[in-house]
Structure 1
Amino acid sequence: MKKSEIQIFLAHASEDKPAVLALYNRLKQAGYKPWLDKKDLIAGQIWRDEIPKAIKASQIFLACLSGKSANKQGYIQRELRIALDTLGEMLPGTIFFIPMRLEECEIPDLRLAEVGLNLRDIHRLDYWEEDGFEQLERAIGYQFKLEPEEPKQLLSVFNFEVVRVNAKGEQIKKESKQSQYFREDLGNGITLEMVAIPGGTFLMGTEDEEIERLVKKFNWEGLRSERPKREVNVPPFFIGKYPITQAQWKAIAATAKIDIDLETNPSNFKGDELPVERVNWYQATEFCKRLSRETKREYRLPSEAEWEYACRAGTTTPFYFGETITGELANYRASKTYAEEAKGEFRKQTTPVGQFPPNAFGLYDMHGNVWEWCADTWHDNYDGAPTDGSAWIEKGNDNFSPLRGGSWYFFPTFCRSAFRDYYYRRDGNSNDGFRVVCGAGRTL
C-alpha cells in the first residue's frame, strides 16, 4: 500500500484546531491523505452527512488529545456514533484507532468498547511535535507495509555525451543522450541529484568462459563469484547521479542521530566535491535513514542487481565505455592495463565527482573513484539469488556486504561492471564510499 492511499481521519476538539491544522499539514507533506473538516468540507456540505462518509473512507482514526480536550472524550465517541447511526451498520473491515497527544496530558480511558466499532489500536503515541510523528510513521509503515513512492515533483531533463572505445582504448563513437532527474535540496545551497532509471531486464554476471580467462590472466579466484550469469528483471528506480560527496555527507551527518553517530568529516582526501570515503556500511545506512527523515522520501543503498543494471546502462561489454577503460575515462590505477590500451596516470587519490564521461543513463563515476556499498549481505556466488532486482539478504554473511565499481587505488579489472568485492560492514577505508537509491525495490 502507498502513503497516498491511506486516509487518516483527524478527530479533535475545537480547542485544538491550530495544533490539528499543523498536524494535518505535516501528514499531507509526508504523502498521506489526512481528512479534517476545516480543510475538506466544501461550502454548503452538511458536516453531519460528510463526517460519516469520511470515517468510512479512512483506514486510520486519529484521536487528537491535549490537556484542554483530553477529558472531553465525548467528541471522539460522538463522531464514531454519528457514523454508526447514519450508516445503520458497522463499518466494513477494520479501522485502526490511534490516540495521539498533541501536548503533554494524560490519555483517558476512552471506553471504546461502548462505541461498538471494529477498532484496532496501533499505538499510543507521544507528543507529536517531538518524536510522536516519527512513531506514527513507523507504526503506519509496519502495519500497512508501505511501498516506496516515486518523487512527486516534476522531473527535469539533462543532456550529456557518452563515448565508446575499442580494445585499444581508442574512441570509436560519441553520442548525445538525455535523462530525467530530480534535485533534492539539502540546505545551504547543497543539492542531491537523483536520476530516473527505467525498469528492464538484463543479464547479470559474467560468462563462465570469460571468468576463466580472467582468472588465468589476473590470477584472481574471486572472479568466480560473478557466476552463474542470469537474467534479472529490475523495476524502475532513482539513483544518485554521483557518489555521495563530502558536502552532502556533512549536510546530513550534522542532523540528529537515529541509530549511530556520524563524523561530519571522515574522509582521508578532503574536498566538498570529492566523494566521501572512509565510510563503513552501517554509517552509509545511517546516512540513508537520516536523509529519508529529512526529505520525507525513502532513501537506501542499492541492491547489487540495481547497481550493476544502472552501471551497465544497456551495455554488455566489460565497461560501459566498451571493451576496456583508460585513465582519461575514469579514476583508477591506470598505470595497469586491462586490454590493449596504453598505460595512463595513477592519480593516487579521489577526484571530484562528475569529472569523467557518464554512462548512457547519465551516471558518473560508476567505474573507479570509490567503491560503492550495496544493501545485500555477501554471498560467494549467485546460486539462488533473486531475479527481481531486490537486495539478497537471506542466508548471506551479514558481517560482510558487497562493494562495486572499483576505486582510485585498484586495477582496471576491479572496475568492470560485473566485478564483485566485499568488506567487513564495520570497516571502511579511503576506497569506500556509496551512492543512494530512491523509489521502487524491495528486500528479500
Structure 2
Amino acid sequence: MADIFFSYKREDRPRVEPLVRLLEREGLKVWWDPDLVAGERFDEVIAEEIDAALCVMVAWSAHSVRAPWVRDEASRGMRRGVLVPMSLDGTEPPLGFGVIHTPDLKGWNGDEQDPRIRHLVADVVGRVTGKTPDVGSHEGADRSALSRRRLLQIGVGAGALLAAGVGGWALDRAVGRPLPPIRTERFPVASVDATGARLPDQTGSAEVFDLPVGNASLPFAIVPGGGFVVGSPDNEPGRRANEGPQQQMQVGPFAIGRTTVTQTQWEALVEASPAPVERPLAATPSSFSGPELPVETISWIEASEFCARLSALTGLTLRLPSEVEWEYACRAHSTTPFHFGPTITSALANYLGTGGAVVRREGDADVVSPDYGGLVHESGAYDQGPLGLYRAGTVPVGTFPPNRFGLHEVHGNVWEHCADVGPVDYERMPDGGTPYTGDGGSHVLRGGSWSHNPAICRSAYRDRMSADNPGWPGRVGLRLVCEI
C-alpha cells in the first residue's frame, strides 16, 4: 500500500506528474492511476488504496471539480481526516470542501523551488513521516519506509527510536516509557455555512490514547506535523492587530489533550502526586463544581506545576502547548474563523451569544461590558451567523463535536494556557512550533470562554495574563501536550 493516494483528472496529468515525482524523491510511495494492474477491478483497488493511505491528495481544477470519481475519492479521504487539496488553476473547491485550506497553484510550471510547492511538499512529508524536510534538497531518499505513524501503531516508544536511530530521526530527548496503547477512533465532524446552518457531518479519524493518572485517565489525540498559516487575514470580522501579519509555520507531530483537563483529572493527579515540584496545588481550585467540568481559575504557574508533577509520575514529557501548536491543533487544517466554518452557533460551542463583549460578576449580578481588548462587540452573533445562548458557566468537556483532529471545545468554555511569553509579533516567533520564551511578564491565552463574545473565541484570537494570575473566577483552564 502507498503512503499517498493522488486523485486528479486525466487532463491534468502533465501538471500533476512533476509533483508526484517530487514526492517520490522525498522517499514517499505515491499511488496514482498509472499504478493500476491489468485485470484489477479499479473501483476495489481505489477504495483499498484510499483507506490505507496516510494522506489523500486531490488536485482540483476546472476538469476535476466536475468529475464524480474525483469528488468521491476526495470525500473518502476527507471522511478519514487525511485529505490534502490543492487548486491547479485557481478553481474553487466543490461545495463541502471549502473548509479545508486549499493552496492555489495557478501558474505553477513545475518549478521545484516555488514556495507554494515547497510548503505543500513539506506539509505532506510531515504528515506521513513526522519530519519537516527542506524540500529544496533530496535528503529524504534514504528515509526509513516506516513512518512515525506506523511506528506508533506498532507500539515503538520514543526512547526506543532514539536508541535505534530509526530513519535518522533526531529526537530532542528520550522519553522514559513508551506511549500507552494507541487506537484509531472515528467520529463525526460538524461544519456550518456562513449563516450558521448545519452542513452534513463528515467523518474524521484520529490516533488516540488514554494516559492513566491515579483513578482517572487523560485522553490524547496524535496531531501530525505539517505546515500552516498562523494568524488571521486582514478581512476577518473581529480581527485584532496582533493576529497578523500572517506567517507560514511548520509544526512537528505531538499529542494533545482531546479536552481541557477536568476537575476529576486534576484532583486525581494532586492525590497521586501530592509532593510539590516547586509549589503546592489545591486539589479543588475551581469556581464551578462538577467532575467532568473543566478545572479552572488556574494560573500559568499552577498549570506548569501540574505538568511537572504529571511528567514525573508518568515518565513522559507533559507540558503546555506552544501558541503555534495550539492554533495548529485548533484549526485542524481549516482556514475559517472557527474550525467548523465561517461562523459559530451555540450548538457547537459555549460562549456569550446574547450580546456584549464579556460578562463580569459584580456582587450577585452578571454585568455585560460592550468592549474588550480595545474593541466593541455589541451583538452576540458572529458575522452572518445567529444569536446564541448565555449559559452562565462551563459545560462538561466533550459536550460539543470535535474538530478533525478529535479535539473538543477549542472555542469557548474556558481559556487555555500556552507556554509562550507574549503574545509577540509572529515574525519574532521561532519556527517548528516551539514557544517564544523572551522577556515579558505575561503568557498567552487562547480559545476564549463561556463569558466572552464569539469573536473572542476564534482560532486566531490571542490574549494574555500574568503568570501568577488565575483570572476571573471560572474562566481559565489548561489543555496538555504529551511529547511523542
Q: TM-score, normalising length from structure 1?
A: 0.63
1:418 to 441, 446, 460: 460
2:428 to 362, 374, 384: 384
Q: Distance in 1 between matches of 2:475 and 2:396?
A: 14
2:238 to 214, 220, 224: 214
Partner of 1:437 in structure 2? Answer: 481
C-alpha deviation, 1:350, in angstroms:
0.3
Q: How does 1:43-62 map to 2 (within 5 A)?
A: none
2:322 to 303, 319, 329: 303
2:318 alignment partner AA: Y
Partner of 2:256 in structure 1? Answer: 239
* Conservation of the 8 A alpha-carbon contact between 1:311 and 1:366: yes
Residues 1:344 and 2:388 aligned together: yes
Residues 1:172 and 2:199 aligned together: yes
Aligned structure 1 segments of 4 or more residues deviating by more than 6 angstroms? 30-33
1:225 to 242, 264, 275: 242
C-alpha deviation, 1:379, in angstroms:
3.3
Partner of 1:403 in structure 2? Answer: 445
- Structure 1 residues 173 and 150, CA gap change in structure 2 (3 angstroms): farther
* Conservation of the 8 A alpha-carbon contact between 2:382 and 2:454: yes
Residues 1:160 and 2:187 aligned together: yes
Q: How does 1:65-214 map to 2 (within 5 A)?
A: 146-147=173-174, 151-188=178-215, 190-210=216-236, 214=238
- Structure 1 residues 145 and 341, CA gap change in structure 2 (3 angstroms): closer
Partner of 2:333 in structure 1? Answer: 314
SS at match of 2:431: coil
* Conservation of the 8 A alpha-carbon contact between 1:150 and 1:438: no
C-alpha deviation, 1:153, in angstroms:
3.5
Partner of 1:119 in structure 2? Answer: none
Q: Distance in 2 between matches of 1:360 and 1:233?
A: 18
Percentage of identical aligned residues: 41
Q: Distance in 2 between matches of 1:379 and 1:163?
A: 30
SS at match of 2:419: coil
Q: How does 1:1-80 map to 2 (within 5 A)?
A: none
SS at match of 2:428: coil
C-alpha deviation, 1:224, in angstroms:
0.7
Q: Distance in 2 between matches of 1:350 and 1:365?
A: 11
SS at match of 2:209: strand
Q: Which runs of 5+ in 1 are unaligned?
A: 1-29, 34-56, 58-143, 216-222
Partner of 2:132 in structure 1? Answer: none
C-alpha deviation, 1:171, in angstroms:
1.0
Q: Distance in 1 between matches of 2:322 and 2:158?
A: 25
Size of the aligned set, in residue pairs, is 290
SS at match of 1:271: coil
Q: Distance in 1 between matches of 2:470 and 2:178?
A: 31
Larger mean Cα displacement after TM superposition, 383-392 or 325-334: 383-392
1:425 alignment partner AA: A
Deviations 1:109-143 (A, max 9, x none): xxxxxxxxxxxxxxxxxxxxxxxxxxxxxxxxxxx
CA-based RMSD? 2.0
Q: Distance in 1 between matches of 2:222 and 2:450?
A: 27
Q: Which runs of 5+ in 2 are unaligned?
A: 1-156, 164-170, 355-379
1:364 to 408, 413, 421: 408
Deviations 1:322-369 (A, max 9, x none): 000011100111211112222121001000000001101110010000
Q: Distance in 1 between matches of 2:206 and 2:347?
A: 23
Partner of 2:367 in structure 1? Answer: none
SS at match of 1:413: helix
2:293 alignment partner AA: L
2:397 to 353, 359, 363: 353
Deviations 1:294-343 (A, max 9, x none): 11100000000000000000100000010000111001112111122221
SS at match of 2:326: helix
Q: Distance in 1 between matches of 2:220 and 2:457?
A: 22
Question: Whose Rg is larger?
Answer: 1
Deviations 1:47-79 (A, max 9, x none): xxxxxxxxxx9xxxxxxxxxxxxxxxxxxxxxx
* Conservation of the 8 A alpha-carbon contact between 1:205 and 1:228: yes
